[in-house]
Amino acid sequence: MSRPILEVAHLNKSYRTKSNTDFAAVKDVSFSLMKGETLGIVGESGSGKTTVAKMIAGMIPVTSGDISLDGERLSGTRTRSKATKRNIQYIFQDPVSSLNPRLQIKDILAEPLKLYFSLTKQEINTRIDGLLNDVGLPNAYRERYPKELSGGQCQRVGIARALAAEPTIIVCDEPTSALDMTIQSQILELLKDLQQKWGISYLFIAHGLEVVYSISNRVMVMKQGEVVEFGATDEIFNRPEHAYTQSLINAIPQIQIPYFN
């Protein structure tokens, strides 16, 4: 975790509203993400988390500000190089709708493999098996369609699709929000294992602090498009400076201890 892989400086995003005024969804956001680090981004719905994430992934244009990958300043969305696109992958909040319902799992995974690498059919097949194995899905799932899988299994496919590109960064945009608690922790464990194995850096977005606690090295708290607090995870939890961070900590559901008599 020695050097920054991603640097974001003074990032802004405005949307033109119907009344023809500008609404600032993201205001002057700056941070860096280290190699192999997980940076948690937390904030209530509408605080600008996805907007930051999509600008970094090149899915929407920035209004102003700079994004650098491995020391190289990135250009706008349409002119990004293939290598840059490959290096910044995205895992979506809704695992089912993020997969093309008309494609079998093997074809969903073949897409990034064909796009980014020149492989033979045989190599693609072997790679698909390897990816399914990496995310804990049986090979037999190759032939299945997304609707035949559970939400958690679809998210595993979403993770495999991101891994297929062999990225240096994965933006995880509330990847467990649509899943129930048990599945949530399984997905978090999987993401941690994959990070250990491949040294990938994560930007991990959640609206609750409890989700980022176990996975993040540092946490950035956003409110109404701005960064209100930023620090090491244990500092944020033990010594929150901003009242909003405190309110997020207070909102963490208390674990119910079973009572036996």
Ligand X SMILES: Nc1ncnc2c1ncn2[C@@H]1O[C@H](COP(=O)(O)OP(=O)(O)O)[C@@H](O)[C@H]1O
What is the contact surface with ligand X in residues (CB under 6 A)? Answer: 15, 25, 43, 45-51
What is the distance between the alpha carbons of residues 96 and 80, in angstroms, rounded to a whole number?
A: 28
- Rounded least distance, CB 207 to Mg ion, Å: 8
Amino acid at 85: K
Interface residues for Mg ion in 42-71 (CB under 5 A)? 50
Alpha helices in the chain (DSSP H): 49-56, 82-87, 105-116, 121-134, 151-164, 181-198, 209-213, 233-238, 243-250
- Rounded least distance, CB 15 to Mg ion, Å: 14
Of the pair 42, 128, the CB lying nearest ligand X is at 42
**Are 145 and 101 in contact, with CB atoms under 8 Å apart?**
yes
The β-bridge relationship of strands 169-173 and 201-206 is parallel
- Rounded least distance, CB 240 to ligand X, Å: 19
- 112 contact choice in Mg ion, ligand X, none (CB below 5 to 8 Å, kind-dependent): none
- 46 contact choice in Mg ion, ligand X, none (CB below 5 to 8 Å, kind-dependent): ligand X
Q: Report the 10 Å Cβ neighbour count for 259.
A: 5
Of the pair 55, 164, the CB lying nearest ligand X is at 55
- Rounded least distance, CB 49 to ligand X, Å: 3
Of the pair 50, 245, the CB lying nearest Mg ion is at 50
Hey, which residues does 11 pair with through a beta bridge? 29
Q: Binding residues for Mg ion, per CB under 5 A?
A: 50
